[in-house]
Amino acid sequence: MENVSKEMFEYINKQLDKIEKEKNIKILYAVEAGSRGWGFSNEDSDYDVRFIFKRPLNDYFTINSKKDVIDYFDGDLDYTGWDIRKVLNLHWKSNPNLREWTKQKIVYRGDCDFLNDLPAFSPVTLKYHYGSLAHNNWKRYVEGNEGEMTRRVCKTYLYAIRCILAWIAIDDGTDAPIQIDELMKYFIDDDRMGTRLYADILMLISYYKSNCKKSKPDERAIENITTFITAYLEILKADKPKIEDLSDIEIYNKKLREVILE
């Protein structure tokens, strides 16, 4: 499996078994998120395992509700799980993180077919999320540090690029992929990027994947990428979407009953 060795895949599944036993839950679906899931990991990248779980039926009929989030840490492995009730509530609100879980290629366990018949995620909500993520991370890690190009800054460049490209693709009416290589393919021969910028971004992706050991992109390339990012951040910042009405919540209540009764 891409970006995950067979040994690590098996180890993670054993840990998922352990979490199930210790927490008395059933894991329905588990994937890899973070830089590995986004397609720009390097040798120092850790593992971000995300999973959806359900509790025993009686746990959903108690006065004192059980925790709907499980966090588990194991060295460089970070596990976070969401209860099915929380997942459906987030799906109802078009939560972009959940959308990305459902589109991951690195799947450790199960599938998310049980979510297929739910209403589609709102493009308006997704665009707002990606715009906010790009702007907030850029402001936190890059502004004032553009010339340094540390690994943290380089990763934030890629994070901003991924969010901006997803925003544009969603604005075009497409179901934007989450992996950066696939997003880049969407913009081949696209006038909004151009061949030089396209090549500069590919060079930056390669540089980060090498753990910043390859030759760093030159000053012209970084300036070109920076100009692209900052210009689009202004466009995203100016975009004031009108939040759409939520779908009928009874659709999600029905789905919850289906899943916990299985």
Query: Per residue in 239-259, pLDDT tens?
Result: 777 777 888 999 999 999 999
User: What is this structure's pTM?
Assistant: 0.91
H or E segment and range at residue 255: helix 249-261
What pLDDT shows up at residue 143? 76
Question: Measured between alpha carbons, how far is residue 8 from residues 46, 48, 104 in Å?
Answer: 12, 12, 17
Q: Is the pLDDT of residue 163 over 60?
A: yes
Average pLDDT over residues 88-117: 94
* Domains assigned to the chain: 6-116+246-261 (3.30.460), 123-238 (1.20.120)
Q: Is the pLDDT of residue 127 over 60?
A: yes
What pLDDT shows up at residue 1? 63
The string of pLDDT tens digits covering residues 44-67 is 888 999 999 999 999 999 988 889
User: Which residues, other chains included, contact 181 with Cβ-Cβ below 8 Å and sequence gap of 6+?
Assistant: 39, 205
The string of pLDDT tens digits covering residues 194-204 is 999 999 999 99
State the residue for tokens 């078994």.
Answer: 17
CA distance 203 to 217: 7
Q: Is the pLDDT of residue 147 over 60?
A: no
Q: Is the pLDDT of residue 148 over 90?
A: no
